[in-house]
Structure 1
């Protein structure tokens, strides 16, 4: 091994909230050497959707560590105490932080973790059978090459904004994804009409902003979504049992085709809209009735956008289909905001080890109960994934409140002991058939 190569127990790639939480939990494990590599120069989180009054949809206990280590020095309560806001937060009696405050918490935690290496772009990962280590090749922001060896990897590069084929042909000045909305408000202000395509929480929050601008004399607003209603997030307490570690373990034990069916059926857990946001939208629409002369607003659900182009007159024309009747029509606008979600990003740096990864019938990596990918038997190390196992663990996979449990599971697997105690019972509901033994427990 050359002098320029460093050896570690774990190299985590990507520094979003999940790998940040992994580093936080690992920071109190004395005999574990873990580093996190991140291409960006600093930690940021959803800046393009950081509306001033936007609230988290999980409470403060769903921080980096609390659900498995409430005593941890990097908890949200420790952050509040350090910032001298703990008493004020208690009196506030609203245990859902704003997104802005939550990002400040994440940045506070990141600043306390020397294991994080920003401005490090990973270019290639390979398996060295002789050393029984993964070889990681990265480049620092100044162009300096970096080489690392690791017994295990954790891939947490997150998801990428998705633009469907129907919108992909539009020029960049005519379409933007919700992830970039606040970076493109100049384009919004210059438009005569702005149309949101898609719904979910992000689309609804953009609709709130556009309706507020409309009340102040801003552009006309369109909102088109293929869902059959303005569907609320189903966050009733008993249904939230489907987001618990107990249900995720049960979900993982099911056959592949059953898991795929359930992901489709449970879309309201991650594609719905909070009731507070729906009420805010209705209030804004009601207020418009008292303000004559405003530009128009057009809301349509059950509508699929099937094409998009700029016509000879310079207008953006969306070809739409009304799903109940099958009738087609054109929707004319100036700017399209795509509330079309995110998709997993296949990491190009894993190309050298692709042949070692076992895949299911859908071509997706087979993910074990400990969140590691099933590899060829010759590989003694493990590749763990964070927020890339929706097909294996269900709709709670991207939820912040599962992050600490998943990271504790990974650290227990890496250390070979119960470094962190996992929840024994997290749901009142029994999900399995009586007497059934899940495959991973056989």
Structure 2
């Protein structure tokens, strides 16, 4: 009887984070892993690949550069291979266009033999010897296969977060989350009135896209957000140092309540809007107001959406200006929900619920090296790149620090330093004992 191969690790999900891990692990002979993704190919946030939008991280925050700038999987090598290096040079921007970043990741995924698409992980069990049994279904032929691994890398990303009061089985052509905006763009712009609910970069990008076509299509346009204002993202250089290895180490040492408080204090660093986007919105509004033209545009912060119901003349939103505690109604043909995302935690995790250390409901404790903490120390581990904000701070969803996370995971898997971790990368310090 042939003994089943046992991988050093199996990666579940192939988003940018696990794709980075695949690229960094590729040249290392001492560890072997395989990755499974249920989508048929890599495409990054397809509903938000709006032409003209940029990644909020610079091109150095690609899949590998911070760990190995000589890797064949750098963004610059992608440009070189596609004869776009001069074009990007003349483009003269530090930011990557969002659509090009998606294409870059797709290119990298096609070169990595460890990455397998149209493969859905349906279950994970731990065997008596501590290794993991992983059940994988091929979506091409509906066949099921079993794989064994010493460790699991959880990279299942996030799913749309829609408040329960707004969530209903409405037609997607009428009420859509930003994650599917481009799929429904034509239908949304066919409405007589369009309303964007939510704050942050996605809300601003969609509002601007709708604003550009408003005059031609003739709809009224509204934007309501619960935040206290339409504020730009903190872009000062010292402010950006909160996305650094040193701050992650500092944040991870805090106790749970202080970590949550620190996250609230970093709201503008994490969730603000790109200054250039806010500038483009304002300039378009200003030009369109000449000569004193009345705009069919409403922009109102300090306003929460509490409920939505279907009426003959559209959808009625129950809104509340929370600072003045004033409730009002708003009718709209189409609604775009820019309400963010939440971690996608697979159901099989519940099998380990009694063994995991939980810091709060649905928030498991995660070690400095990114594996889920168990009540009893495990030789075989479940590493995670998902559900990390409460343990590793603002870096949890930041592309610029995904490489650092994977450096630590690879070093932990190998039991030695494969990729050295930078010891001093910022000018400020966050405590006296550093």
Q: What TM bracket, shorter-length normalisation?
A: over 0.9
- What residue in structure 2 maps to residue 114 of structure 1? 113
Aligned residue for 1:336, secondary structure, equals strand
The yes-or-no answer on 1:400 pairing with 2:399 is: yes
- What residue in structure 2 maps to residue 231 of structure 1? 231
- What residue in structure 2 maps to residue 244 of structure 1? 244
Aligned residue for 1:8, secondary structure, equals strand
Verify the 8 A CA contact 1:170 1:309 in the aligned structure 2: no
- What residue in structure 2 maps to residue 440 of structure 1? none
The CA deviation at 1:264 is: 1.6
Aligned residue for 1:152, secondary structure, equals strand
The CA deviation at 1:85 is: 1.9
- What residue in structure 2 maps to residue 439 of structure 1? none
- What residue in structure 1 maps to residue 133 of structure 2? 135
**How many equivalent pairs are there?**
432
- What residue in structure 2 maps to residue 187 of structure 1? 187
Q: Deviations over 1:40-91 (max 9, x none)?
A: 1111111111111111111111000000111111111111111122233223
Q: Deviations over 1:340-372 (max 9, x none)?
A: 000012211323333322211445111000011
TM-score by length of 1: 0.94
Structure 1 unaligned spans of 5+: 437-442
- What residue in structure 2 maps to residue 146 of structure 1? 145
TM-score by length of 2: 0.96
- What residue in structure 1 maps to residue 289 of structure 2? 289
Structure 1 residues 2 and 222: CA distance shift in structure 2, 3 A: farther
Q: Deviations over 1:76-119 (max 9, x none)?
A: 11111111222332233212110111111111111110000111
> How far, CA to CA, are the matches of 1:92 and 1:185 in structure 2?
28
Verify the 8 A CA contact 1:158 1:345 in the aligned structure 2: yes
Structure 1 residues 135 and 376: CA distance shift in structure 2, 3 A: farther
- What residue in structure 1 maps to residue 354 of structure 2? 355
Verify the 8 A CA contact 2:308 2:315 in the aligned structure 1: yes
Aligned residue for 2:351, secondary structure, equals helix
Aligned residue for 2:419, secondary structure, equals coil
> How far, CA to CA, are the matches of 1:378 and 1:207 in structure 2?
49
> How far, CA to CA, are the matches of 1:332 and 1:81 in structure 2?
51
> How far, CA to CA, are the matches of 2:99 and 2:113 in structure 1?
23
Structure 1 residues 190 and 93: CA distance shift in structure 2, 3 A: closer
- What residue in structure 1 maps to residue 335 of structure 2? 336
Structure 1 residues 2 and 197: CA distance shift in structure 2, 3 A: farther
Q: Deviations over 1:179-202 (max 9, x none)?
A: 111100122122100000001000
Aligned residue for 1:273, secondary structure, equals coil
- The worse-fitting range, judged by mean Cα deviation, of 204-213 and 359-368 is 359-368
> How far, CA to CA, are the matches of 1:30 and 1:20 in structure 2?
18
Aligned residue for 2:39, secondary structure, equals coil
Structure 1 residues 34 and 15: CA distance shift in structure 2, 3 A: same
> How far, CA to CA, are the matches of 1:327 and 1:48 in structure 2?
34
Verify the 8 A CA contact 1:310 1:316 in the aligned structure 2: yes
- What residue in structure 2 maps to residue 346 of structure 1? 345
Verify the 8 A CA contact 2:47 2:182 in the aligned structure 1: yes
> How far, CA to CA, are the matches of 2:245 and 2:342 in structure 1?
23
Aligned residue for 2:185, secondary structure, equals helix
The yes-or-no answer on 1:298 pairing with 2:298 is: yes
> How far, CA to CA, are the matches of 2:56 and 2:360 in structure 1?
34
- What residue in structure 1 maps to residue 429 of structure 2? 430
The CA deviation at 1:290 is: 3.1
Q: Deviations over 1:108-142 (max 9, x none)?
A: 11111000011111111111123x21111111111
> How far, CA to CA, are the matches of 2:381 and 2:198 in structure 1?
38
CA RMSD of aligned residues (A): 1.7
- What residue in structure 1 maps to residue 12 of structure 2? 13
The CA deviation at 1:204 is: 0.3
Pairs within 5 Å for 1:3-82: 5-82=4-81
The CA deviation at 1:292 is: 8.6
Verify the 8 A CA contact 2:303 2:322 in the aligned structure 1: yes
- What residue in structure 1 maps to residue 214 of structure 2? 214
